[in-house]
Structure 1
Amino acid sequence: MAVLRVKFTKTKRDKLAQVLWLLNWFSVVAGAILFSLGVFLKVELNKREEMMADRDIHYVPNMLIAVGLIACAINFLGGKICYDCVDTNKFMRWKLILLPYIICTFFFTFCILVGALMCYTMHGELEESLNQGLAKAMKFYKDTDMPGRCFLKRTVDILQMEFQCCGNNGYRDWFQIQWISNRYLDMTHKAVIDRFRSNVEGKYLMDGVPFSCCNTNSPRPCIQQQISNNSAHFNYEHQTEELNLWMKGCRQVLLEYYTYIMQSIGLTVLIIWLFELSVLTGVRFLQTSLENVVKQGDPDSESDGWLLENSFMETARMNLNIIKSLGKSNQIDSGNNGDPNINVPATSKANYGPDNVPPKPVSEAS
């Protein structure tokens, strides 16, 4: 029994072909949107690639770009096919191509769904990449004289001011690294020497943060040195002075920023997937109804169109049997090694007569 059988008159078939022609052009625009979303996401990731570890997180934008380009090409061809299908004679030129086109479009539509799901599943990889990348950028914050790292101080400062964040997980991360270059420290000063000696790794650590961590909404001048020392500042309690510094870590803020982008892109891709699926369903109905018209021989007659000629279970069983038969034929071919006579049993000499002569047929013996 056919799945979703629908009866079409010639007028309905012509209208369906015209509507599908128009929808395919909309799908071309949807493909361009997919391409644009992929480029936008790739640019956003590249903007802060210094803050990310060397992990493969560009597979999602790369896939969106590829799927967008393929969508433009496939839907352009689909628009041409649907335009010609208004005329039954022109349909004959596409008859052999339509079924492979529908199968390829089905798998391509599945790729769109995969791309949408990827937008929701890369959260963990993105978080790990940001965690490692930010820790590395903070570690090299002081290396303003080293080639390849001299720009990191400016990049981290702009990031903290733009996203109103401080450190990787919080402002206390700056207490655990030396973020002031030795060239700006007086090595003859006793306090500096004592601070170097007090650390096992020989680093200049202090309870201070860069200026970019200062909260611009603070009612008092920013306190960025001796943050945890209440007696060093008048009327100051570092545990309650939440307006003094940005409280959120940059990893959390960047993750929220990229998660919002990914979820918005994922929702858009899902909507495009549903649209492409509806267009593909319409093309399938058009193909089956026109093939039945060709079988009947009357271009003005009514015809049935369906999504599947048999039920889902029967179609799955038929495809499974085809796959099994192909597998068996491949096993036979590989076992024969190309020799068609290898499995032909030879007459054994043990069955011969006493003179090693093969026995005569029954007709000759009689």
Structure 2
Amino acid sequence: MAVLRVKFTKSQRDKLAQVLWLLNWVSVVTGIILFSLGLFLKVEINKRRELMAERAIHSVPNMLIAVGLIACIINFVGGKICYDCADTNKFLRWKLVMLPYIICTFFFTLCVLVGALMCYSMHGELEESLALGLSDAMRYYKDTDTPGRCFLKRTIDLLQIQFQCCGNKGHRDWFQIQWISNRYLDMSKQEVLDRLRSNVEGKYLMDGVPFSCCNVNSPRHCIQYQLTNNSAHFNYDYKTEDLNLWKSGCHQALVEYYTNIMHSIGLTVLLIWLFELSVLTGVRYLQTALENVLRQGDPESESDGWLLENSFVETARSNFNIIKNLGKCNQVDTTVNGDPNIDKPCTAHYGPDNVPPKQTPVAS
């Protein structure tokens, strides 16, 4: 029994072909949108690639870019097919192509769905990538004279100002790393030497943060050095004072930023998938309806269209049998005339030298 059988008249088939022609051209535009979204996400990731560890997050924009390009090609071809299918005679040239086209389009729509799901499932890898990348970038903050790292100070300062954040998880992260280069330390001061000697790794650690951590909206001047020393500042208590620094960490700020982008893109891709699925359904109805017209031999007659000629279970069983029989085609057939009880003639094996024994002539 056919699944979702629908009866079409001649005018309904023509209108369906025209609507599908228009929808396929709209789908070309959605393919461009997919490509643009993937390109936008790739640019946003590359903007701060030095703050991210190498993870599979780059697979999301690459997937969207590839799917967008394929969508433009598939829907362009689909528009041409549907335009010709308005004429039953022109359908003959596409008859053998329609089923492979529908199968390819089905797997393409499946890829669109996978792309949408990837936008929602990359949150964990995004968090890990940013956590590791930010930690490394902060560690190299002071290396302004090192080739390949000299830009990291500017990158992190702009990040903390733009996203109003400080450190990886908070401002105390700066207490655990040396973020001032040795070239700007006065080695003639005993205080500097004592700090360097007090650390096992010989780092200059202090309870201070870069200027970019300062909250510009705070009414008090920025306190960025000796944050834990109450006596170093007037009317100041580190434990109870509302510090005039950005309170949130940059890791959380970046995760929220990229999560919002990816969720917005994921929702858009999901809507495009539903649209592509509706177009594929219409093309399938058009194909089956026109094939039934050819069987009837009357272009003006009514015809049935369906999604599947048999039920889902029967279709799955028949496809499984086809795949199963493909493996048997590679096996040697040892039957004669289809009867497995009759052996085919084969070469007799007489001995190790495969030489038949001499026969004694019979006296007449």
> Residue 290 of structure 1 contacts residue 303 of structure 1 at CA under 8 Å; is this kept in 2?
yes
User: How does 1:46-125 map onto structure 2 within 5 Å?
Assistant: 46-125=46-125
Match of 1:187 in 2: 187
Cα displacement (A) at 1:71: 0.2
Assess, with a 3 A threshold, how the Cα gap between structure 1 residues 75 and 161 changes in structure 2: closer, same or farther.
same
Cα displacement (A) at 1:243: 4.6
Give yes or no for the alignment of 1:176 onto 2:164. no
> Residue 349 of structure 1 contacts residue 356 of structure 1 at CA under 8 Å; is this kept in 2?
no
Match of 1:145 in 2: 145
TM-score (ref. length: structure 2): 0.92
SS of 1:7's equivalent in the other structure is: strand
Cα displacement (A) at 1:50: 1.0
> Residue 284 of structure 1 contacts residue 306 of structure 1 at CA under 8 Å; is this kept in 2?
yes
SS of 1:57's equivalent in the other structure is: helix
> Residue 217 of structure 1 contacts residue 243 of structure 1 at CA under 8 Å; is this kept in 2?
no
* Aligned residue type for 2:238: H
Unaligned runs of 5+ in 1: 334-341, 358-366
Cα displacement (A) at 1:343: 7.6
Assess, with a 3 A threshold, how the Cα gap between structure 1 residues 343 and 173 changes in structure 2: closer, same or farther.
farther
Percent of residue pairs identical: 77
The count of residues paired between Structure 1 and Structure 2 equals: 345
Match of 1:6 in 2: 6
Cα displacement (A) at 1:241: 3.1
SS of 1:283's equivalent in the other structure is: helix
* Aligned residue type for 2:162: E
User: Separation in 2 of the partners of 1:199 and 1:213?
Assistant: 24
User: Separation in 1 of the partners of 2:81 and 2:218?
Assistant: 65
Assess, with a 3 A threshold, how the Cα gap between structure 1 residues 310 and 199 changes in structure 2: closer, same or farther.
same
Assess, with a 3 A threshold, how the Cα gap between structure 1 residues 243 and 188 changes in structure 2: closer, same or farther.
closer
* Aligned residue type for 2:79: G
User: Separation in 2 of the partners of 1:356 and 1:109?
Assistant: 73
TM-score (ref. length: structure 1): 0.91
> Residue 285 of structure 1 contacts residue 306 of structure 1 at CA under 8 Å; is this kept in 2?
yes
User: Separation in 2 of the partners of 1:54 and 1:196?
Assistant: 33
Match of 2:340 in 1: none
User: How does 1:293-332 map onto structure 2 within 5 Å?
Assistant: 293-332=293-332
User: Separation in 2 of the partners of 1:38 and 1:123?
Assistant: 17
User: How does 1:317-356 map onto structure 2 within 5 Å?
Assistant: 317-332=317-332, 345-347=346-348
User: Separation in 1 of the partners of 2:37 and 2:74?
Assistant: 19
Match of 1:277 in 2: 277
Cα displacement (A) at 1:217: 1.6
Greater shift in the superposed pair: 109-118 or 239-248: 239-248
Match of 2:338 in 1: none
Cα displacement (A) at 1:328: 2.0
Assess, with a 3 A threshold, how the Cα gap between structure 1 residues 201 and 343 changes in structure 2: closer, same or farther.
farther
* Aligned residue type for 2:316: A
> Residue 157 of structure 1 contacts residue 212 of structure 1 at CA under 8 Å; is this kept in 2?
yes
SS of 1:61's equivalent in the other structure is: helix
The alignment's C-alpha RMSD in Å is 1.7
> Residue 39 of structure 1 contacts residue 65 of structure 1 at CA under 8 Å; is this kept in 2?
yes
Cα displacement (A) at 1:242: 3.4
* Aligned residue type for 1:328: K
User: Separation in 1 of the partners of 2:329 and 2:187?
Assistant: 82
User: Separation in 1 of the partners of 2:134 and 2:274?
Assistant: 38
Deviations 1:88-113 (A, max 9, x none): 01111110100000000000110000
* Aligned residue type for 2:222: C
Unaligned runs of 5+ in 2: 334-342, 352-356, 360-364
Assess, with a 3 A threshold, how the Cα gap between structure 1 residues 344 and 277 changes in structure 2: closer, same or farther.
farther
User: Separation in 1 of the partners of 2:7 and 2:245?
Assistant: 70
* Aligned residue type for 1:31: G
